[in-house]
Amino acid sequence: MSDANLFPGARVILVETTHPGNIGAAARAMKNMGLTELVLVNPYKFPDEEAMYRSASAEDVVSSARVVATVDEAIADCQLVIGTSARERRIPWPMLTARECGEKVSAASEAQQTVGLLFGRESRGLKNEELQKCHFHVNIPTGEAYSSLNLAMAVQVICYEILQARLGGHHLPSDESGWDQVFADADAVEHFFGHLEETLVQVGFHDPENPRQLLTRLRRLFNRVRLDQMEVNMLRGFLSAINKLGSDHQS
């Protein structure tokens, strides 16, 4: 049998899905388009017969799905994280069209990077804090009257574009290959953000009692750059030097 996974490292992540039928339908949409890596964050009801039934001949994708407790766990080793959203958020984020998203994911997989595509809850999508872990957001254009697609249909559109990019040989002229360092994964970046926040508090620049949008905007700044591992190491070293200066100063 030919390999069902045309995009190794590209993972579809469904966050707190309510209806098991949507999990099955999403798995089918994935397999139809050559994707097989499915991660479920805290699903409401899984394993479930309806998920199997709705997946038709993609039962293998459903039964090999990895179940995790948090979005952080799902994306920990991802070097590119893309979130899907049916509506605009207060602080705009770098956006990709569905087509550009397909091109980026296809190219990133080809360059042996790990990619997480986040899909939200049927009722209220992804939380802001989840969307802020992403490098990019994708919105599927719709008629004005109703912008929210069924979850599995959104998975279908995004996966369709990934396969189209591969079939058409389209690549974004970008950073997916030829970079001299490996891109940092979400776990490393999350630790960096934690360290940055502590340091900003230490030096009195950030007041946790009055956070405003400082940390969100800093997240957006660094995610827009798409840090590589060496850059993260340098920034962590820089922060440690500031921490040390602060503690020497106190003593």
Which of these, 33, 87, 90, 36, lies nearest to 66 by C-alpha position? Answer: 36
> Least distance from C-beta 126 to ligand SAH, angstroms?
5
Q: At 35, which amino acid appears?
A: L
Which of these, 99, 93, 86, lies nearest to 157 by C-alpha position? Answer: 99
Give the binding site for ligand SAH (CB under 6 A).
84-87, 119-120, 122, 124-126, 138-140, 142, 147-149, 151, 154
CB nearer ligand SAH, residue 108 or residue 138: 138
> Least distance from C-beta 180 to ligand SAH, angstroms?
33
CB nearer ligand SAH, residue 32 or residue 139: 139
> Least distance from C-beta 117 to ligand SAH, angstroms?
9
CB nearer ligand SAH, residue 55 or residue 84: 84
> Least distance from C-beta 151 to ligand SAH, angstroms?
4
CB nearer ligand SAH, residue 119 or residue 136: 119
Alpha helices of 7-114 — where are they, by DSSP H? 20-32, 49-55, 59-63, 71-75, 98-110
What are the residues whose beta carbons fall under 8 Å from the beta carbon of 11, sequence distance 6 or more?
37, 38, 39, 74, 78, 114, 115, 116, 117
> Least distance from C-beta 119 to ligand SAH, angstroms?
4
Tokens coding 90: 């207060």
Map tokens 């996966």 to a residue.
Answer: 159
Alpha-carbon torsion angle 6, 158, 115, 25, nearest 10: -70
CB nearer ligand SAH, residue 138 or residue 184: 138
Element at 37 (helix H, strand E) = strand 37-41
